[in-house]
């Protein structure tokens, strides 16, 4: 096991100007692991109900993802999210959120997971993120995600998680909320002071910024002509990033930059179909091909 992902496994009903899917596979651990599994051996820790089908299981296991940390609650229902996007993919409206079995989720890590060198703590209660961290005899390279809800409700615990993390993923809105700063550079400096030596601020179609050891990197997004469904793009970005980092086995500047671009590329594929439809059949060759195209789009000569 190279990388352990703890996060949500969900069924999503999603409506966009391009169509609708009902109770399709989703959740942060699902999107992230489908991306990381292209780069390294991945196990996920999560919880599902009886409506999580054998087809869902086969889809993930078919990608080599270890599901031994995926608890199934008899008689329970899987975390459910329903949302709608307007013509602007950045505007998303949540119609329903049913936590279901996720409400009482307590991560259970199989012994085989505890030797992993890399850990991605998806957007869950910071208390649970800390419990997971405590389980590892040797601290893995740790990345975490969070959201407005935890920033507001458990800022102290979240700060504890940040102090013990190497990498933090947030989007631009969360970075502003977390820091109280409107300007992204100021926000980044403020957040970096709390612990994570690598900060990734995702800006959707506008790319992403990396802040590490006082250095920075700006990754472009891969431009898409058709954004069918942006659900999971941020989690896929984190997955592509973490997969590339686990494969590189380093947090050196060059590796971080490449990981940013792999994250951007992976996320772009997610947006091209509903749910995990595009991601589920994606190959590392397709990732590499698009990486090269993005490199060509962003290249310019020194003065």
Residues near its own copies (CB under 8 A) are 87-88, 182-186, 203, 206-207, 209, 216-220, 223-227, 254, 257-258, 260-261, 288, 291-292, 295, 297-303
Name which of 69 and 263 has its Cβ closer to its own copies.
263
In the complex, least distance from residue 214 CB atom to its own copies, rounded to whole angstroms: 12
In the complex, least distance from residue 46 CB atom to its own copies, rounded to whole angstroms: 31
Name which of 151 and 184 has its Cβ closer to its own copies.
184
> 171 with 145: CB under 8 angstroms?
no
In the complex, least distance from residue 4 CB atom to its own copies, rounded to whole angstroms: 25
Name which of 133 and 221 has its Cβ closer to its own copies.
221
Name which of 95 and 297 has its Cβ closer to its own copies.
297
> 227 with 89: CB under 8 angstroms?
yes
Q: Sheet containing 215-219: which strands, arranged edge to edge?
A: 66-72, 42-48, 3-6, 118-121, 141-145, 167-171, 198-202, 208-212, 215-219
In the complex, least distance from residue 137 CB atom to its own copies, rounded to whole angstroms: 34
> 51 with 261: CB under 8 angstroms?
no
Tally of CB atoms within 10 A around 68: 15
**Distance separating alpha carbons of residues 291 and 194, to the nearest angstrom:** 32
In the complex, least distance from residue 249 CB atom to its own copies, rounded to whole angstroms: 16
Name which of 112 and 193 has its Cβ closer to its own copies.
193
Indicate the burial class of 30 (C-beta count within 10 angstroms; 0-12, 13-18, 19 or more). Answer: buried
């Amino acid at each position: 096991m190279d990388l352990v992902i703890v996060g949500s496994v969900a069924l999503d009903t999603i409506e966009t100007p391009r169509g609708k899917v009902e109770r399709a596979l989703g959740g942060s651990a699902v999107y992230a692991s489908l991306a990381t599994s292209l780069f390294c051996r991945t196990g996920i820790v999560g919880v599902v109900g009886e409506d999580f089908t054998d087809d869902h299981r086969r889809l993930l296991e078919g990608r080599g993802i270890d599901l031994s940390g995926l608890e199934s609650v008899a008689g329970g229902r899987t975390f459910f999210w329903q949302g709608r996007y307007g013509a602007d993919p950045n505007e998303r409206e949540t119609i329903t959120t049913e936590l279901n079995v996720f409400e009482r989720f307590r991560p259970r890590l199989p012994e085989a997971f505890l030797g992993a060198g890399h850990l991605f703590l998806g957007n869950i209660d910071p208390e649970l993120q800390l419990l997971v961290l405590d389980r590892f005899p040797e601290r893995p390279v740790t990345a975490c995600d969070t959201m407005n809800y935890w920033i507001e409700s458990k800022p102290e615990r979240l700060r504890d998680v940040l102090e013990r993390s190497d990498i933090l993923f947030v989007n631009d809105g969360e970075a502003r909320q977390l820091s109280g700063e409107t300007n992204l550079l100021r926000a980044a400096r403020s957040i970096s002071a709390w612990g994570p030596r690598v900060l990734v601020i995702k800006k959707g179609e506008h790319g992403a910024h990396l802040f590490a050891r006082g250095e920075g990197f700006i990754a472009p997004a891969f431009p898409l002509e058709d954004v069918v469904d942006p659900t999971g793009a941020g989690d896929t970005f984190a997955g592509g990033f973490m997969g590339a980092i686990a494969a590189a086995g380093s947090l050196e500047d060059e590796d971080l930059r490449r990981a940013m671009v792999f994250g951007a590329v992976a996320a772009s594929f997610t947006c091209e179909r509903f749910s995990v439809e595009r991601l589920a059949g994606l190959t590392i060759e397709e990732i590499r091909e698009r990486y090269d195209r993005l490199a060509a789009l962003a290249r310019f000569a020194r003065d």
